[in-house]
A and B are shown apart, each in its own frame.
Chain A
Amino acid sequence: MQLYVPILVLAVLAAGFAVFSVSIAPFTGPKRWNRAKLDAYECGIEPTPQPVGGGRFPLKYMITAMLFIVFDIEIIFLYPWAVAFDKLGLFGLVEMVLFIVTVLVAYAYVWRRRGLDWD
């Protein structure tokens, strides 16, 4: 138990600080509310509700982000495999090919759905 005491103290300090700063702000800070301040921050996109017939959500950034994730995950697995591919032998190679094919399926879907066209 002795071992945990510093961690506990740290946790209490951190929590105390968080609570303190959140609760003190409304009392001490200036209060000048405007519309922009009341809005939630979402990548510059107007949060709901949108006016009826207000158009589609611009999804460009999201698709880019998703493509990034697809390849990001691929790389995460490729690195350790590349380091030890000779020791993993044929099994490792086959599994990696299977994995890449699976990721490519997702890539093909994005590509065919015109996810790579900017406009």
Chain B
Amino acid sequence: MNGTIPAPTIEYGMLAPMLVVFGAAIVGVLVEAFAPRYLRSAIHLPITLLSLLISFVLIVWQWVEGVPTKAAAMGAIAVDGPAMFIWGTILVLAFVSVLLIKDEGHFVGAAAAVPGSAEEEQALYEGAAHTEVYPLVLFAVGGMMLFPAANDLLIAFVGLEVMSLPLYLLCGLARRRRLLSQEAAMKYFLLGAFSSAFFLYGTAMIYGYANSLDLAEIGASLGVVGGQDMLLYIGGAMIGVGLLFKIGAAPFQAWKPDVYQGAPTPITALMASGTLIAAFGALLRVFWVALGGLDWNWRPVFYGVAILTMLGGAIFAITQTDIKRMLAYSSIAHGGFLLIGVIATGSAPAQNTSALSGILFYLVAYGFTTVGAFAVVTMVRDAGGEAWHLSRWAGLGKRSPLLAGVFAFFLLAFAGIPLTSGFFGKYAVFQAAVTGGALPLVIVGAVASAVAAFFYVRVIVLMFFSDPAADGPSVVLPSRGTAAVVGLAALATVVLGVFPQPVLDLAHSAAQSLFVR
């Protein structure tokens, strides 16, 4: 019992992008504690944006310096090509989402007040605001970065929770329709906790099987350890449940529409882009690095899940009358399309690279478009807040053709029409899948996207070919931030649709090294 325990080595340089974000989040909490109320958001905004920017610059710098080939922090966190690509994407989308978040009027003044009570009115009157939103967002973004980079199931769990807990809170902060928002937060929390339990349970099972939590060591133990298949199967499936829940794949999709609908729209934008990307990153890493040798086992299961998700998302979306719910179901369907890419892996590294780069590109394309679409949703307002019901969108094309046109463009991108980013995203993923021998799945995907096109077009027809209601919603002139977000998202959707090559190259070179082991 004597002697020293060797100190672990921690590559602070490689982890710096993440540490900057977490550090800024802690500073944000201190700002909440000590800065006077009227100064808080003025201090928060630069800190938040600057930390995201610095983090991004650090990633670019490291990318130029050379992508590490070994996992950091004693093999616990893998800062490899795909992780850095995902980090960069999440940071850019988070930056954009913060520009939406900073607009006044999305968040409640006093979340703890009973909806409609005198206290709530009082808080509104006093101009109370939950500026905690900024540090919470930073914590969530930090978690989103940790989750896909975790090379260890326990770290992945920590990342999952750090990402999710702030989001549960943020969901409950919508200014309008308080009850709906609180309900969303509650549901998200309960179901999220439920799915986290699955993840943790699976982790324990896998540990029982492999005697390690390290993904690479789990991967190496497959086929070596005998007679414990039960633990492995249950563990793998349970971890799959936890991850598929975050993606919103069927049959774990039930939370998504309710939560997307209830959450403040900028937070929905952050969730729809960032969480999805992070969850896919983690899913890919766990199932390729740790359970790659078991692919004959999980691939057929994912096959079914992908079909169910694509068709379910597309079919349920048709009946939606709420714009945010519709976008939620669309997000579910897109999760299914992305799952095709996960299944498209094969034994040859080239096949894996093309599938991975396809997924990465799809994530970038979808992330931008979805943030843009939700940004537009924040701008179409009724007397009682955002006009969510689709019937209120009727004739929008006649009132404000530019906004409706941009929204129609985003919808076309969701539908995967050529010359939008969505087309190349789908193309890259489907292509990889066809080469990987998953043609039936691609056919289902193409059918689902045709079904999906129906409800996107339905909205476009509604906007442009229906008569506007007399008391229709007004389009608020957005702040510069929101306008910039919509513009940027539209630009990204066009550029990625017309000149996808630079980003495809980037995704390809990120995917080239695959995941470190």
Direct contact of A and B (CB under 8 A): yes
Closest residue on chain A to residue B227 by CB atoms: A1
Cβ–Cβ contact A102 & B26, under 8 A = yes
Interfacial chain B residues near A102, Cβ < 8 Å: 26
Query: Is B119's CB within 8 Å of the partner chain A?
Result: yes
**A118 to chain B: closest CB distance in Å?**
17
Which residues does chain B contribute within 8 Å of A91, judged by CB atoms? 7-8
Given A89-B7, A91-B7, A92-B7, residue A105 in contact with residue B26 (CB < 8 A) = yes
Give chain A nearest CB distance to B128 CB in angstroms: 12
Number of chain A residues close to chain B: CB under 8 A: 24
Q: How far is the CB of B22 from chain A (nearest CB, A)?
A: 9
B117 contacts A by Cβ under 8 Å: yes
Determine whether the beta carbon of B4 is less than 8 Å from that of A56. Answer: no
From B27-35, B194-202, B455-463, the one touching the partner chain is: B27-35
- Residues on A with C-beta less than 8 A from B113 are 56
The interface bits of chain B over 70-85 (1 if a CB of A lies within 8 angstroms of the residue's CB, else 0) are 0000000000000000
Q: Which residues of B contact A112 (CB under 8 A)?
A: 32-34
For A92, list chain B residues within 8 Å (CB): 5, 7
Contact of B447 with A by CB under 8 A: no
Q: Closest approach, in angstroms, between the C-beta of A94 and any C-beta of chain B? A: 9
Contact A88/B5 with A54-B114, A55-B119, A59-B112 known, Cβ cut-off 8 Å: yes
* Given A52-B117, A53-B118, A113 and B33 contact (CB-CB distance below 8 Å): yes
A40 CA / B291 CA spacing, docked (Å): 43
Q: Mark B109-130, 1 if CB is under 8 A from A, else 0.
A: 0001111111100000000000
A-B contact count (CB 8 A): 59
Instruction: Tell me the dominant secondary structure on chain B's binding face.
Output: loop
Within B1-33, the residues touching A (CB, 8 Å) are 2-5, 7-8, 26, 29-30, 32-33
Closest-by-CB residue of B relative to A59 is B112
Contacts of A113 in B (CB 8 A): 32-33
**Bound complex: CA A102 to CA B114 (Å):** 32
Query: In the assembled complex, how far is the CB of residue B183 from the closest CB belonging to chain A, in whole angstroms?
Result: 10
Give which listed residue, B7, B114, B119, contacts A88 with CB less than 8 A: B7
**Measured CA separation A108–B117 after assembly (Å):** 30
Chain A residues in 8 Å Cβ range of B112: 56-57, 59
Most buried by B among A50, A53, A90: A53
Which residues on B sit within 8 Å (CB–CB) of A50?
114
- Interface residues as binary, B345-377 with A (CB distance below 8 Å gives 1, 0 otherwise): 000000000000000000000000000000000
Verify B114–A89 contact, CB threshold 8 A. no
Chain B residues, CB < 8 A from A89? 4-5, 7
Give min CB distance, A99 to chain B, whole Å. Answer: 12
Q: Hey, which chain A residues are within 8 Å of B34, CB to CB?
A: 108, 112
Please indicate the chain A residues that have their CB under 8 angstroms from the CB of B117 in the complex.
Answer: 52-56
A residues 79-95 with Cβ under 8 Å of B? Answer: 84, 86-92
A111 contacts chain B at the CB level, 8 A cutoff: yes
Contacts of B7 in A (CB 8 A): 88-92
Cβ of A109 within 8 Å of any chain B Cβ, yes or no, is: yes
Taking the nearest CB of chain B, how far is it from the CB of A98, in angstroms?
10
30 pairs, A vs B, C-beta closer than 8 Å: A52-B115, A52-B117, A53-B118, A54-B114, A54-B117, A56-B112, A56-B114, A56-B117, A56-B119, A57-B112, A86-B4, A87-B2, A87-B3, A87-B4, A87-B5, A88-B4, A88-B7, A89-B7, A90-B7, A91-B7, A91-B8, A105-B33, A106-B29, A108-B29, A108-B30, A108-B33, A109-B29, A109-B32, A112-B32, A112-B34
Known: A91-B8, A109-B30. 19 other contacts (CB 8 A): A53-B117, A53-B118, A55-B114, A56-B112, A56-B114, A56-B117, A57-B114, A87-B2, A87-B3, A87-B5, A88-B7, A89-B5, A89-B7, A105-B26, A105-B29, A108-B29, A109-B33, A112-B32, A113-B32
